[in-house]
Amino acid sequence: MSPLVYIIIGFSIIFLMTTLGALCVYFLKKPSNLANMLTIGFASGIMLSASIWSLLIPSIEYAQEQYEKVFILPVLVGFLLGCAFMVLLDKITGHFSNLQKDKGKNKAFKLFTAVTVHNIPEGLAVGFAFGSAFATTQNFVPALLIAIGIALQNFPEGLAVALPMHKTLNNKNKAFVYGTLSGIVEPIFAVLGFFLASQLTFLMPWLLSFSAGAMIYVVIEELLPELHINEKTTIGTWAFILGFVLMMTLDLCL
C-alpha cells in the first residue's frame, strides 16, 4: 500500500471505532435502574483504567525521557490542571444549568468533555507515529498497529459516553451524536501531530496527565456517587471492575 493509504486508514479507524461504540446505544432499550447501575459502573471502570494505563503511565514515560530528574513536574502539574479545568467547567456549566433548571445536561456535558479531552493526546500519538515513519523509515506498519490499538480502545469509550448520555437525556439520537463527537478530535489532532511530529513531543507528558486529571475528576465527582444511590451497589461495583479490567487488557495487550 502507498503511504497515503496507510495514513488514511490509520486516521479513519480511530474515529470509526468510537462511532461504532456509540452506535450500540440504538440496540438498547430504555435503561432500567439495573441497567443504569451497570452502565455507570462500566463507564467509570473504563474511564479510570484509561486514565491510568493510557494516560498517566505514558505521561510518566514521556516525562522521564524528556525531563529526566524533574520528570514528575509535568505529570503532577498537568494532572492538577486537568482537575482544575473540570472544576472551572463545573462552575460555568453549573451556572447555566441553574438558570435552565436542568442539572442532567450539566452532568452529561462534563462527561462528554472529559472523554473528548482524553482523546486529544491519543490523536496526537497516532499522528506522531505516522509522521515519524514518514520522515524516517517509511515503514508504516508499526504506526498502523498503534492506530489499531487505540481504535479498539475507542469502541468501549464511545459506548461509555453514549450510554450515560442516553440515561441523562433520554434520547438515543443525541446520545449517539455525543458519543460520536467525543472521538472526532482524534483524526483532527492526528493530522496536526503528523505535520508537527518533531515539534510537539515535549507537550505529550503535559497533555496526557492533563487528560488523566480531567477523566478521574469526572469519575469521582459525577459517576461513582451514582453507584450508591441504589441499594444494590454490588452490581455497579462489578460492572466497574469489568470495565476497568477490559480497558486494562486492551491497553496492555495492544
Q: What percent of the chain has a predicted confidence (pLDDT) above 70?
A: 87
Give the per-residue pLDDT at 77: 96
129 pLDDT higher than 70: yes
Task: Note the pLDDT tens digit of each residue in 220-240.
Answer: 887 788 777 666 668 888 989
Task: Note the pLDDT tens digit of each residue in 25-53.
Answer: 888 766 566 766 777 788 788 878 888 88
Instruction: Round the average pLDDT of the chain to a whole number and report it.
Output: 81
100 pLDDT higher than 50: no
Task: Note the pLDDT tens digit of each residue in 143-198.
Answer: 887 788 778 778 877 887 888 788 777 888 988 998 999 899 999 988 988 887 76
Inter-residue contact 245 to 41 (CB < 8 Å): no
- Reported residue count of the chain is 254
Task: Note the pLDDT tens digit of each residue in 75-95.
Answer: 999 999 989 987 887 676 554
Mean pLDDT of 200-218: 83
Model confidence at 123, in pLDDT bands (50, 70, 90)?
A: confident
Inter-residue contact 135 to 197 (CB < 8 Å): yes
Higher pLDDT, residue 20 or 214: 20
The pTM of this model reads 0.69
Q: What is the DSSP string of 29-51?
A: -S--HHHHHHHHHHHHHHHHHII
Nearest in space to 157 (alpha carbons), one of 126, 193, 121, 116: 116
